Structure 1
């Protein structure tokens, strides 16, 4: 039996930033709403009202955990829908003739694509702010682009590709102090899964997050909408979610979402301790074992997602590394799972100023609860050998250009 046909249980999964396995305890909570309490929660009969109560309980549980009012929490199908609802909902409800929006060049495509689409259709003017070399964005970077007609600023809390955490509470608090009229949105899909997030402390009007990044089901997400924030619904055709998001609610997924949020909160301290230890090992050992490579994103672990290690390796293609790791029984990624198949280097790395050729060798390793020291040991043994073999296949001279120097750790 080859490595590629190993039993699933023998493989090593290091792509938790893409999605996580469903926690068995979460599945246990969901099962009754697949089998017995499957009724439409909008109906009036007893069985349907049981499912309505389950949704109401889930909303209360998430609101309590995230520190917001139940009336400020709207269920969606996931992070991408939440981002689109926040962005298009603010733009469409605003009656100004001129509408200006600010975002950063490192945002998830669920933010960048709808904004660029609105700009192409001349519904907004758009300022896309470059990232700093560690992938962060600061208040001064944003303030320089604020105009009299700015209606929305959308900045991610933590970057899914490089793990850098932006100081959203500080940035948004300073913006609100001077520009109270501007709506503030943050994509917190990654941060909610890995660090404590108190919605009342973000100073955001709109916050997107989802279940499947924190051992919950796919198909359930949420948009926090601060009380009093005007928003135009995007899915019409029913009165669900206060008329802002029509469609029969996905009761099992919503129940699972709440269960996953509750478990994540209870396990957060242990999860962070576990992930930080293995993360530090990788960030120290990888540059020691692989020449001509660099860690991407901030190296300050206090400003980086726990368990997130991203790097770029010179003179190899990220895709080739991933295929070789897969044959070895290790699942990882080269960046966002939402851009898999793209031959272009990561837009996040290029927004940081990483040279094009170096950015093509990107690799993202994201750890989870089930990741073991043995798994990290296997990666540290196998990856250097893979890189050596791939480089040996290239006839090109492998001398790093001068412009790579500031990006390499070895």
Structure 2
């Protein structure tokens, strides 16, 4: 079954951000000790806190409750106290688009932090037979300026909190009916069996390792066996090469690692992945070779976007396998996904297949990633939120008010 591009109509969109996000701290993203402290702050006796934390954890992450009222085994007085002091509010859905291939992209709006303004991020769901992969954002915008990536053209606005990262998972599962009490929405394209969100990839907007603490806390909640319960082998964090945080990722998160490589020489990688000027290939690959838990069962994925006439020669394919020699690895070849004003073209398909053949002959798995969601700009490297446009509209509105004063 195929679905055409669609966007939420105004009546299906959530309420404006001001009403969707009361000025209360959110319990989303808190670990158990923080939840216990929150309960203590509203008078829950210490002897009860462990039990109450278990109840909250069950309802929020296993059952997908978005309100305290839904928590049937929590006393009415405590539910009312929780609602008065805290929130479980999830982001506002600004838009929801569905590709002809079933890929689903949401534009989520989060509340202002302090004196800031609301911000928006994009999250993508990719359904495949037997699994469903959710591509999650870690920042609003990005600082890396990779020249082939649309997200890199949006300036960094701020890091997302652990709660905002987790809430992308909760919202996606709610929208596709992946909680036990929720039915699959009519028309949703999802796997025919198994969990609908079975894999998480930190490959959305932003560099996850520039927001390490919040990403770590969110992913540990995602992997918690009493809640979202995703296997750490089904959680992949992708970095462009923040070398000092790579070992911490293995030690403190224990998830699978992906490296946005895209070039086999420092001079070219300096140009298309500018973070390479700070941590060049030799340092990056040294960190990969020493990644905690690295083995043939826990290979590192190296991502390589195919740019016509830039990095796609067969000589570079041979250099690539020499560069990765001795590292248990898989090499994902990613056909470049175009975006407005991009200076690049995708490599010809025949050239991609010849490149893959060189890599395969060297003993590396080298799947060619099928582009998904191109028609809704949901494919790899195409994400960019409307936060900058919001900022521009706000400035224009202020100017208009001032002009009329």
Q: Name the TM-score, length of structure 1 as normaliser.
A: 0.27
State TM-score, norm by structure 2.
0.27
More contact order relative to length (CA 8 Å, sep ≥ 6): 1
